[in-house]
Amino acid sequence: MDMNRLFSEAQKLIPGGVNSPVRAFRSVGGTPRFIREAAGAKVTDAEGREYIDYVASWGPMILGHSHPGVVRAIREAAGRGTSYGAPTEAEITMAKKIVDAFPAIEMVRMMSSGTEATMTAIRLARGYTGKEMIVKFTGCYHGHADSLLVKAGSGVATLGIPGSPGIPKRLAELTLSLPYNDSAAVREAIRRFGSDLACVIVEPVAGNMGVVPPEPGFLEALREMTREQGILLIFDEVITGFRVAYGGWQNLSGIAPDLTCLGKIIGGGLPVGALGGRREIMEHLAPTGPVYQAGTLSGNPLAMAAGIATLDLLQGKSYADLEKKAETLCNGYRDLFARKGIPVRINRVGSMFTLFCTGGEVTDFASASLSDTERFGRFFQGMLKEGIYLAPAQFEAGFVSFAHTDQDIARTLEACGKVLDAGGM
């Protein structure tokens, strides 16, 4: 099926032709690939062209697409019914897996998206502390709940939208957005607003302004300052959960947040979100407590089956091997660009990476924004022509999966070499 025809049909029926803005290729130009099928590290578009995929559905597909073990689990679950609106044993299994993997999580509530998880985390923090203001970091993206769409990353940054109409100004005023990696700014905000602050929410490794790692001491300082002031610390590990380790960044750093938001990988490619944390806080959620949260498809049996199968499979895998592949890819990119004298900055944490079209260090949204997004667009288009599917926006993470082979990495670097040789950048 012709891609341009699909896109123009889609645009008549769906705003922008897509059901999530960054898919629209707005910042890189051209027509979005409509995907027909996917297996392993490859996606195939509606015209039958195959690509090595580094989007991985924006993170969830850490085992690759259509992993037979995950597909089997979904099929078997579907045969027993697709939704009951009643509790199931699979939800206990999933909760146990999450609690076992995260030392800071004693209880967990399953939901249907990462946005629900972060939105509920904020509501719970407000309900638990009785305070209303929150701190987030500029360029971090925590889904599209009203309180969190202030100076956000991902599509909001890509489209250059400063905030969003529809969010009451008085609500947005309760959100302070501070520079990532700047603990002095947090100290000052706490000094000024400490008694009104319910929580600090952070992506422990930023993934939605492109990948930006936390500087040594930043998260530790957040933990110390929030604990001293009775402010809840929320780690949004929707991307990093089971991506950087079996567990999350908190397992690697040894920092225990009060609440943790999860999604993506724990659903094995099906819609999912989860909020976990200390029992005493979590029990403020209804029905044990007064903070309301609910969902018809929460703990959906298909999502639980896919998630449980994914986590079981991940337990037998080596994250060090996964990281090695990403390291080879990123080192290869660095060499190729250096040989041409084209300035780029490649940030990588485990199997997440971003190639920023800037020569300087990228440590926060201000430095990420120095990227030449037009140059990125040209690189993206060149790679796409060579059969490599990258995230269609500068301010996003790329993901290497267990399904990527050494040949896939080599082919990707070969494609990059061709794009650079062609001189289009």
Binding residues for ligand HOZ (CB under 6 A)? 20, 22-23, 58, 141, 154, 208, 396
Q: Which is nearer to ligand HOZ, 270 or 336 (CB)?
A: 270
197/362 with CB nearer ligand HOZ? 362
Quote the CA–CA distance of 145 and 238 in Å, as a whole number: 15
Is residue 236 part of the annotated active site? The answer reads yes
Q: Which is nearer to ligand HOZ, 113 or 226 (CB)?
A: 113
**Distance between CA atoms of residues 53 and 41, nearest Å:** 6
Residue 368: CB minimum distance to ligand HOZ, A: 14
Find out whether 26 and 159 touch, Cβ atoms under 8 Å.
yes
φ, ψ of residue 66 to 5 degrees: the values are: 50, 40
Distance, in Å, from the CA atom of 266 to the CA atom of 260, rounded to the nearest integer, reads 13
* Residue 333 is a catalytic residue: no
Tokens for 136, please give them. 């987030």
| Pairwise CA distance, residues 405 & 6, whole Å | 31
Active-site residue, from 141, 180, 319, 333: 141
DSSP string, 112-164: S-HHHHHHHHHHHHHHHH---EEEEETT----S-GGG-SS--HHHHHTT-SS-
Query: In angstroms, what is the minimal distance from the CB of 58 to ligand HOZ?
Result: 4
Q: Which residue is nearest to ligand HOZ (CB)?
A: 20
Annotation says 325 is catalytic: no
Residue 308 DSSP symbol: H
Minimum distance between the CB of residue 248 and ligand HOZ, rounded to whole angstroms? Answer: 17
Q: How far is the CB of 397 from ligand HOZ (least distance, A)?
A: 7
Q: Which is nearer to ligand HOZ, 113 or 183 (CB)?
A: 113
Residue 141 vs 235, nearer CB to ligand HOZ: 141
Catalytic residue among 97, 136, 151, 264: 264
**Residue from 236, 258, 364, 408 carrying the catalytic annotation:** 236
What's the CA angle centered on 14, arms 36 and 40, to 5 degrees?
20
Q: How far is the CB of 56 from ligand HOZ (least distance, A)?
A: 11
Residue 91, token pair as written in the block:
């939800």
Q: Could you list the active site residues?
A: 141, 236, 264
